């Protein structure tokens, strides 16, 4: 048994939704129930006594496990619905109880007027925890089956708003492992057509809540799943950041170990390197080695030697690697051209407008057979959200430095 409390503006929309053709009206109290239009008019008449209330509609879908289907007679459903309303403090007001049999999960809908018979407002604020307790109490009282999690729900059988709720749930679940902050999550969910609205705390400049909207239907994060309240999302962001840092450290350690293993031998092409030569290579420079030989013993030959950016692979050139060579619209270092032709993305040093002026675009080939290079001024290996975060942090640091310098001048 799972229930949720929804507030709404329109009795017409809500009643029309629950009273679809094939639905069964189990009970009505305080409304004229001859037709669907009569029910809507009855609700609207009482609601007119408190026109200042913007959300007079109370809507409670209650779903049950398929294992309990054989027990869920109409009378038992009515009994469960009434006990639920009583426990939740929903009383002395108009309501209808409607049964739906359009899914494998038996379920019902309660529509009630939040403007009670004395024109007082029935509050449903902060009802999430109370709802959980009431559902547990009724499940224990009647020995109803506990749910087996959202993954067991058959999405194709759902109607709105449940269909949207589970669509949002599945989308968040799929992208959350890659998100490290609220901006990442917003960007990742955009491709699913899901909008995010963050609620800011009044007393502090920080986020206090979150809601998700799709196809005109919105849910708080905790309504979709308690794991998706903003506090729990923050914990996931922190966990993902830590995991990424651990992965980066692991990769760095691996590369460092590989480099150290090579450094122990300090030989290239059978030529032992001096400490100075090895240090030059590690610092991004180049050396000229003579009398090298291949693994099969052929040679000797002499070439310029340099490492890639990760310092884990050796490359050779018969010309000075820092000399410039013309290729297409670029005039770049020979070493950059070699790396690109070998399939690497590299931050190339290219001659720019004016004497002695250089630019550093990222260049690469999408395919080895391409005659032109791809170009980007941001590292294409970094995800867009991460690159944006990097730029924002840089801008914030610059602003802080400007304020600091301004304060010192004053």
What is residue 391's predicted lDDT score, i.e. its pLDDT? 63
Report the distance separating Cα 21 and Cα 41, nearest Å. Answer: 19
pLDDT at 16 over 60: yes
Is the predicted pLDDT of residue 189 greater than 80, yes or no? Answer: yes
Query: Does the pLDDT value for residue 156 go beyond 90?
Result: no
- Lowest-pLDDT range of 112-121, 233-242, 255-264: 255-264
Residue carrying the six token digits 């709404």: 8
Which comes out higher in pLDDT, residue 368 or 54? 54
Together in a domain, 6 and 121: yes
110, 129, 153 - which closes a domain: 153
Whether the full predicted model's pTM is greater than 0.75, yes or no, is no
Assess whether 42 and 146 both reside in one domain.
yes
Where b means 16+ CB within 10 Å and e means fewer, 249-274 reads eeeeeeeeeebeebbeeeebbebebe
- Assess if residue 242 is contained within a domain: no
pLDDT at 304: 95
CB atoms within 10 A of CB 352: 12
Which of 11-25, 45-59, 181-195, 239-253 has the weakest average pLDDT? 239-253
Residues 177 and 62 reside in one and the same domain:
no
Cβ partners under 8 Å of residue 259, min gap 6: 282, 311, 312
Confidence of residue 154 (pLDDT cuts 50, 70, 90): low
Give the per-residue pLDDT at 354: 64
Q: Give the percent of the chain with pLDDT over 90.
A: 44
Q: How would DSSP label each residue in 103-163? A: SSS-EEEEEEESB-TTS-B---TT-HHHHHHHHHHHHHHHTPPPP--GGGS-GGG--TTHH
**Can you give the pLDDT at residue 403?**
61
pLDDT value of residue 149: 60
> Are 133 and 183 found together in one domain?
no
Coil, strand or helix: which one is 259?
helix
**Residue 59 counted as domain residue:** yes
Q: What was the pLDDT predicted at 258?
A: 66
Contacts for 2 with CB less than 8 Å, ≥ 6 apart: 62, 63, 135, 147
Domain that holds residue 63: 2-153
Supply the pLDDT for residue 290. 92
Note whether residue 241 is domain-resident: no
Question: Kindly report the CA angle at 351 between 316 and 323, in degrees rounded to 5?
Answer: 30
Which pair of structure tokens corresponds to residue 55?
A: 């959300």
Note whether 364 and 291 are same-domain residues: yes
Q: Look at residues 236, 252, 284 and tell me which one is the last residue of a structural domain.
A: 236
According to the model, what pLDDT value does residue 213 have?
93
Cα 233 to Cα 173, 187, 204, 218, 341: the distances in Å are 11, 15, 19, 18, 43
Mean pLDDT, rounded, of the chain: 86
The verdict on residue 256 lying in a domain is: no
51 plus 68 within the same structural domain: yes
Model confidence at 319: pLDDT above 70 = yes
* Closest to 173 measured CA to CA, from 160, 185, 161, 156: 185
Q: Are residues 171 and 143 in the same domain?
A: no
pLDDT per residue as tens digits for the range 109-144: 999 999 999 999 998 877 778 888 899 999 989 888
User: What's the token pair of residue 374?
Assistant: 């791809």
Domain identity same for 408 and 317: no
Mean pLDDT of 315-342: 91
Average pLDDT (384-397) is: 62
Q: Does residue 347 sit within a domain?
A: yes
Answer whether residue 248 is part of any domain. no
Which pLDDT does position 113 carry in this prediction? 96
For 346-374, the pLDDT digits (tens) are 999 998 876 678 999 999 998 888 888 99
75 and 27 in a common domain:
yes
Mean pLDDT, range 166-181, rounded to an integer: 91
- Domain for residue 254, yes or no? no
Flag whether 79 is in a domain: yes
Closest CA to 293 of 267, 274, 315: 267
Band (pLDDT 50/70/90 cuts) for residue 265 is: low
We report the CATH number of the domain holding residue 58 as: 3.30.930
The reply to whether 315 and 279 lie within a common domain is yes
| Chosen domain end from 118, 153, 188 | 153
Q: What is the pLDDT confidence band of residue 2, given thresholds at 50, 70 and 90?
A: confident
Number of domains in the chain: 4
Mean pLDDT score, 271-283: 89
pLDDT band of residue 335 (cuts 50, 70, 90) is: very high
Answer whether residue 306 shows pLDDT above 60: yes
pLDDT at 400 over 80: no
* 292 & 312 share domain: yes
Asked if the model's pLDDT at residue 410 lies above 60, the reply is no
Based on the domain organization, do 137 and 270 belong to the same domain? no
Q: pLDDT tens for residues 219-230?
A: 998 888 888 988
The token duo for 31 is: 């409304």
Q: What is the pLDDT of residue 62?
A: 93
């Amino acid at each position: 048994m799972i229930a949720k409390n929804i507030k709404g503006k329109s009795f017409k929309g809500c009643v029309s939704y629950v009273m679809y053709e094939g639905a069964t009206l189990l009970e009505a109290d305080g409304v004229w129930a001859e037709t669907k239009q009569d029910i809507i008019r009855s609700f609207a008449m009482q609601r007119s006594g408190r026109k200042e209330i913007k959300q007079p509609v109370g809507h409670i879908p209650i779903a049950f496990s398929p294992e309990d289907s054989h027990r869920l007679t109409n009378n038992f459903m009515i009994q469960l619905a009434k006990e639920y309303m009583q426990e939740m403090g929903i009383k002395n007001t108009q309501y209808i109880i409607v049964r739906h049999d359009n899914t494998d999960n038996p379920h019902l809908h309660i529509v009630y007027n939040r403007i009670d018979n004395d024109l007082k407002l029935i509050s449903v604020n902060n009802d999430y925890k109370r709802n959980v307790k009431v559902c547990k109490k009724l499940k224990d009282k009647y020995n109803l089956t506990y749910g087996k999690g959202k993954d067991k729900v058959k999405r194709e059988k759902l109607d709105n708003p449940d269909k949207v709720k589970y669509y949002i749930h599945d989308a968040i679940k799929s992208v959350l492992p890659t998100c490290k902050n609220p901006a990442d999550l917003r960007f990742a969910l955009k491709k699913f057509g899901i909008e995010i609205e963050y609620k800011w705390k009044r007393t502090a400049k920080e986020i206090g809540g979150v809601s998700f909207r799709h196809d005109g239907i919105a849910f708080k994060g905790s309504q979709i799943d308690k794991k998706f309240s903003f506090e729990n999302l923050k914990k996931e962001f922190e966990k993902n950041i830590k995991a990424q840092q651990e992965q980066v450290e692991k990769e760095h350690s691996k590369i460092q170990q590989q480099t150290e293993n090579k450094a122990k031998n300090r030989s290239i092409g059978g030529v032992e390197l001096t400490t100075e030569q090895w240090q030059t290579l590690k610092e991004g420079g180049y050396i000229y080695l003579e009398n090298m030989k291949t693994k099969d013993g052929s040679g000797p030959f002499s070439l310029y030697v340099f490492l890639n950016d990760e310092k884990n692979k050796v490359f050779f050139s018969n010309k000075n690697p820092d000399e410039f060579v013309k290729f297409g619209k670029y005039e770049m270092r020979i070493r950059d051209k070699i790396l690109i032709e070998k399939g690497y993305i590299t931050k190339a040093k290219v001659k720019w407008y004016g004497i002695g002026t250089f630019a550093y675009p990222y260049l690469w080939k999408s395919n080895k057979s391409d005659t032109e290079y791809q170009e980007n001024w941001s590292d294409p290996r970094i995800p867009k959200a991460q690159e944006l975060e990097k730029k924002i942090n840089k801008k914030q640091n610059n602003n802080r430095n400007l304020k600091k310098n301004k304060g010192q001048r004053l």
